[in-house]
A = this chain, B = another copy of it.
Amino acid sequence: MAISAKMKDFVANGSMIRKMFEEGTRLKAIYGADKVFDFSLGNPNVPPPDIFKATLKAVVEADDPDLHSYMPNAGLPATRAAIAARLAAEQKVPVQAKHIVVTCGAAGALNIVFKVLLEPGDEVLVSAPYFVEYGFIADNHGGKLKVAPTKSDFSLDVEALEAAMGPRTKIVLVNTPNNPTGKIYSAGSLEALAAAMKKAGSRYGRTIYLVSDEPYRKLAYDGAFVASPLASCPDSIVVTSYSKELSLPGERIGFAAVNPEADDLDALMGALALANRILGFVNAPSLMQKVIVRLIDQEGRDKGIPACVDVSIYQRKRDLLAAGLKAAGYEFFLPEGAFYLFPKIPIVDDNAFLDLLKAENILVVSGAGFGAPGYFRIAYCVEDKVIQGAMPGFARAMEKAKKLGK
């Protein structure tokens, strides 16, 4: 056998999602792409903002001799400074350039943070439903995912998280706005979580870090404010990416920001830069780093980044989808951010219901993959006509499910 036993397992288990892609390709070949309603992937369909495109062209035209050069592993000093200034203004925390590591997206940031913090056997505590990737990333660095429930409306259940903290807890990981539920965690719940972590840390004689994965921060609806643990928890790290707010998922650009009051700060920053190097990222792509700093500087570093995709488009899609699903009898909480909706499966057999949807050429993702069986995820970052076209199928599947009974 060539590949490691663990990777062989991962490939076998990971193949469910791949099979769904293959199923989508197969269905599209048979029925035509416009007759298949693919809600499986969180691939932003709103184009990058015009100011991003203009800035990219300007950076490329500028003939900067260092446009593609090596740089410090933590990123270009100017980019780190601009990101820090923006974050400080936005979240009212005195973050400086030295607290930022520019990364290959949020996934790159999570990998370096986990690499640096975890001892073998340490636990990463997360609330279900959670993004499937977290388990793999914890495992990459010798850690284990420990899962606590959320409340019935998918809000943080701080008591459940507190009960799950133990002597091996090193990281508590939150994702807000949440993939797959669209929930935004309240400032109050994050403060309560920080207090519970501090108590547990004292009990077990170790620092527990709150890591907040926030790539959907700018995709918040109805003017909702996305609270961040940076403000309430000294031992906190924000990881994020520009993939969603600028619709750049293929470019792999994001950052990790460490709270200026974090324990063992200098060692932590040095180790994050080293991890960025030795895990093979080396540095986040230099051209995109130059674009980000120029985007931020266009409005002033204290004003936040001016560029963002048009969130009202996603909000309209959410409303369109929610109205249709509600009329068809689905139960769900209205997403407050991100571009996922996470309805209940109306019968006990999840796969039987997903098969009913597939028979309507509707592709979604089972909640089981997010640690939440009994639900399914609809990624509505798709064209309106896909949402509209799928509605009769969603309704028919519900009718058939009702006939099957509970």
Contact = CB atoms under 8 A, between A and B. Distances in A.
Interface of A: 1-5, 7-8, 10-11, 14-15, 41, 43, 47-48, 53, 56-57, 60-61, 63, 65, 67-71, 104-105, 107-112, 115-119, 133, 136-137, 140, 207, 209, 235, 247-252, 262-264, 267-268, 270-271, 274-275, 277-289
Nearest to A135: B278
Contact of A278 (B57, B137, B235, B247): B137
The 7 closest A-B pairs by CB, nearest first: A250-B286, A2-B264, A111-B280, A136-B278, A107-B280, A108-B280, A68-B248
A48 B60 contact: no
A283 B111 contact: no
A104 B14 contact: no
A2 B286 contact: no
Contact of A287 (B209, B262, B278, B287): B287
A70 B57 contact: no
A2 B209 contact: yes
Contacts of A47: 65
Contact of A11 (B110, B267, B281): B267
A111 B115 CA distance: 14
B68 A251 contact: yes
14 contacts: A1-B207, A2-B268, A3-B268, A4-B115, A4-B118, A43-B70, A68-B251, A69-B249, A107-B281, A108-B280, A112-B280, A249-B282, A252-B281, A252-B283
A10 B61 contact: no
A288 B268 CA distance: 31
A207 to B, nearest CB: 5
Most B C-beta atoms less than 10 A away, residue of A3, A267, A268:
A3
A109 B282 CA distance: 12
A10 to B, nearest CB: 6
Contacts of A108: 280-282
A65 to B, nearest CB: 6
Contacts of A8: 267, 271
A251 to B, nearest CB: 5
Given A8-B271, A285-B251, A286-B251, A133 B278 contact: yes
B251 A287 contact: yes
Given A60-B60, A252-B282, A252-B285, 20 more contacts: A1-B264, A2-B235, A3-B264, A7-B116, A7-B274, A8-B271, A53-B63, A104-B104, A107-B277, A107-B280, A108-B280, A111-B279, A111-B280, A137-B278, A140-B278, A250-B285, A250-B287, A251-B285, A252-B284, A287-B287
Contacts of A112: 280
A34 B118 CA distance: 44
A381 to B, nearest CB: 10
A69 B250 CA distance: 5
Contact of A71 (B56, B140, B250): B250
A61 B57 contact: yes
A279 B267 CA distance: 23
B263 A2 contact: yes
A321 to B, nearest CB: 21
Contacts of A235: 2
A15 B65 CA distance: 29
Nearest to A283: B250
